[in-house]
Amino acid sequence: MKLNPHVSVDCVIFGFDSLSLKVLLIDRNLGLKTNKQTAPKSLKLPGSLVYDDEDINTAANRVLKDLTGLENIYLQQFHVFGSPKRLNKKEDLAWLQSQTKMKINRVVTIAYYSLIKLHLSLPCEGKVIWHDVMNLPELAFDHNEIVQKGLLTLRLELNNKPIAFELLPKKFTIRQLQKLYEIILGKNLDNRNFRKSISKWEHILSLKEKEMKVAHKPAQYFKFDKRIYNKMNKEYLTEQ
Amino acid sequence: MKLNPHVSVDCVIFGFDSLSLKVLLIDRNLGLKTNKQTAPKSLKLPGSLVYDDEDINTAANRVLKDLTGLENIYLQQFHVFGSPKRLNKKEDLAWLQSQTKMKINRVVTIAYYSLIKLHLSLPCEGKVIWHDVMNLPELAFDHNEIVQKGLLTLRLELNNKPIAFELLPKKFTIRQLQKLYEIILGKNLDNRNFRKSISKWEHILSLKEKEMKVAHKPAQYFKFDKRIYNKMNKEYLTEQ
């Protein structure tokens, strides 16, 4: 009994472009020196082994910052994936050992999800792939399972936490908000009922501004008021 | 950079005795051969290193079964505690190394919570301590922090999952249910409003039976109907 697997963090970074929910992936074959042109894409979630003397949350923040340049963004632990069979695919194990120059048998990974405003330009553009979360190819390791569990976590937390507003631009239309809810919940919502619900949310304020240069009737913009939301959800604040 | 801490599981096992919420603790000094009579109590959560080739969820179930004899009870991963300073207290590190006969520098622990019907008699009685969760002494390692986070998780999940009914006896009174909600939420609830809310819950059915041998007016018993609950919460079922 060796009893000590390696520990890693993996980040499911979600973004929303008004039409679909995206997840940030990297191509682990991109940096290969040989066969660069023809190597097939091999997509994975951004992640890293946890360094000696490094807190696990610090490791997740490091991965996020190294990739996006962003700090202090929404980042939440959501599940640990610890099956001893996680590295069963030969190409996964080979890649990991070549990357780390270490003999690795088992990695327990702590999964985090993060929410990013997609319209912000990131320094990693070109190096990463924003892929529609609903239509993923086979990813490395158990990363498909991790993304699915991340999406399910969003769904379960949508009513408890102001997740949607981390993904939307600062000013947004009700149509955008509804679309995001529909994708996360995995079902269509009745327009009229949705607007009726929203009208009761004191933490959403209408702005005087409307959409510009759109083909349809310009919709009004709204904004999220964090102060009001926090006041109304005081009992959850202790977690922050 | 060694990059591989040990991985453990720790279980926060909650029970409810109609008056207070309890957590199951074990005294790590109880098995000491020397100084048995005078050794001070040193309470900790039940836990274990994860065995080689053992899934982390399997490890948590093993800890629970070894201690209580129970299988298939409510058990849920809720947070990972991975600070490199978790073993900073000398007596914690010494105990761990003497128990495991291994050189250990760092342990990342995956915390689970479990919900048990306290009126069931467990084979571990006498060996464990059910301690009021609101009034804990200083526990080993970071176990106070783990219990607090577990309690906070219950609070956040109380409206999404049928947590209360895992803790209550099969037939319960509204007074018991309200008391449990008050403890988990950490605040008193208005009796009339609580009964009004409950009356709308289709998954709680009143029984013809009433309390027996009580000093006050006998209260009616209720039961939880899982089938109705699941039907009404279909969207959450995919997680089970």
Domain membership of residue A163 (yes or no) is: no
- Which of residues 76 through 95 in chain A touch B, CB cutoff 8 A? 77, 79-80, 82-84
Q: For the domain that residue A200 is a member of, what is the CATH number?
A: 1.10.10.10
Q: Do B180 and B129 belong to one domain? A: no
- Closest partner residue to A6 (CB to CB) among B3, B82, B102 is B3
Mean pLDDT across the stretch B47-73? 92
Between residues B78 and B121, the one the model is more confident about: B78
Residue A193 DSSP symbol: H
* A contacts of B52 (beta carbons < 8 Å): 1-3, 84, 106
Q: Are residues B94 and B178 in the same domain?
A: no
| pLDDT tens digit sequence for A122-171 | 777 677 899 999 999 999 999 999 999 999 999 988 887 899 999 999 99
Print the domain residue range for B177. 170-237
Cβ–Cβ gap A238/B4 under 8 Å: no
In angstroms, the Cα distances linking A155 to A147, A150, B174, B175 are 12, 9, 30, 32
* Out of B6, B56, B106, closest to residue A80 by CB: B56
pLDDT single digits (tens) A18-63: 899 999 999 987 765 555 555 667 899 999 999 989 999 999 999 9
pLDDT at A29: 77
Contact between A76 and A113 under an 8 Å Cβ cutoff? The reply is: yes
Task: Write down the pLDDT at residue A112.
Answer: 98
Residue B56 and residue A82: Cβ atoms within 8 Å? yes
Does residue A36 sit within a domain? yes
Judged by CB atoms closer than 8 Å, whether chains meet at B102 and A3 is answered as yes
Cα dist. A209→A170, A221, B116 in Å?
Answer: 12, 6, 54
Provide, rounded to the nearest whole percent, the portion of chain B with pLDDT above 70: 90
Cβ A16 vs Cβ A22: under 8 Å: yes
pLDDT given for residue A6 in this prediction: 92
Domain co-membership, B100 together with B207:
no
Q: What is the pLDDT of residues A97-113, one digit of tens each?
A: 888 888 888 999 999 99
In a 3-state reduction of DSSP, which class is residue A166?
A: helix
- Domain assignment present for residue B1? The answer is no
Residues B47 and B99 placed together within one structural domain of the fold: yes
Quote the pLDDT of residue B160.
79
Is the CB of residue B43 less than 8 Å from the CB of residue B23? no
- CA neighbor of B125 nearest in space, from B68, B41, B50, B82: B68
What's the whole-number average pLDDT of chain B? 88
Asked whether residue B165 is domain-assigned, the answer is no
Helix (H, G, I), strand (E, B) or coil at B95: helix
User: Which of B125, B157, B189 is the endpoint of a domain?
Assistant: B157
CATH number assigned to the domain comprising residue A137: 3.90.79.10
Residue A52 domain flag: yes
Task: Select from B53, B56, B107 the least CA-distant residue to A105.
Answer: B53
Spatial CA neighbour of A10 closest among A109, A89, A102, A105:
A109
Rounded mean pLDDT of B197-222? 90
Among candidates B215, B194, B84, which has minimal Cα distance to B141?
Answer: B84
Handedness of CA A139, A144, A145, A151 (dihedral sign): positive
pLDDT more than 90, % of chain B: 60
- Cα of A121 to nearest chain B Cα, Å: 32
Whether B148 and B183 share a structural domain: no
Q: Write down which residue in A157, A186, A216 finishes a domain.
A: A157
CB B224 within 8 A of CB B171: no
Residue B164 lies in a domain: no
Which pLDDT belongs to residue B2? 62
CB contact under 8 A, B156 and A156: no
Sign of torsion over alpha carbons B173, B162, B71, A1:
negative
Domain assignment present for B200: yes
Residues A178, A129: one domain? no
Q: Do A11 and A99 reside in the same domain of the chain? A: yes
A with B: how many residue pairs have Cβ under 8 Å apart? 97
Please give the pLDDT value at position B31: 60
Of A157, A187, A214, which one is at a domain's C-terminal end? Answer: A157
B36 plus B104 within the same structural domain: yes
B171-198 pLDDT, tens digit each: 999 999 999 999 999 999 999 999 998 8
Number of domains in chain A: 2
Report pLDDT digits (tens) over A161-192.
Answer: 899 999 999 999 999 999 999 999 999 999 99
Tens digit of each residue's pLDDT (9 = 90 or more) over A206-233? 999 998 888 888 899 999 999 999 888 7
ipTM: 0.83
Q: ∠A82-A85-A89 over CA atoms, to 5°? A: 125
Instruction: Looking at the structure, tell me whether residues A134 and A17 fall in a common domain.
Output: yes
Residue B5, min C-alpha distance to chain A (Å): 6
Q: What is the pLDDT of residues B92-112, one digit of tens each?
A: 999 998 888 888 889 999 999
- A window 167-226, beta carbon within 8 A of B: 185-187
Q: Are residues B152 and B190 in the same domain?
A: no
CA–CA separation, A216 vs A237, rounded Å? 40
pLDDT top residue among A30 and A239: A30
A12 lies in some domain: yes
Both B148 and B221 in one domain: the answer is no
- Measured CA to CA, the distance from residue A210 to residue A221 in angstroms comes to 5
Cα–Cα distance measured from residue B16 to residue B2, given in angstroms and rounded to the nearest whole number: 43
Q: How far is CA B208 from CA A156, B175, B223, B224, in A?
A: 35, 17, 11, 14
One domain, residues B174 and B149: no
Nearest to B97 by CA among B89, A176, A139, B163: B89
> With an 8 Å Cβ cutoff, are A84 and B235 in contact?
no
| Helices and strands of chain B, counted as H and E runs | 8, 10
- What residues in A contact B80, CB-CB < 8 Å? 56, 77, 80, 110
Residues 112-171 on B with a CB inside 8 Å of A are: 152, 155-156, 159-160
**Local structure of A141: helix, strand or coil:** coil
Say whether residue B51 is in contact with chain A using an 8 A CB cutoff.
yes
Nearest residue on chain A to B107, judged by CA atoms? A4
Q: Residue-wise over A12-30: b if at least 16 C-beta within 10 A, else e?
A: bbbbbeeebbbbbbbbbbe
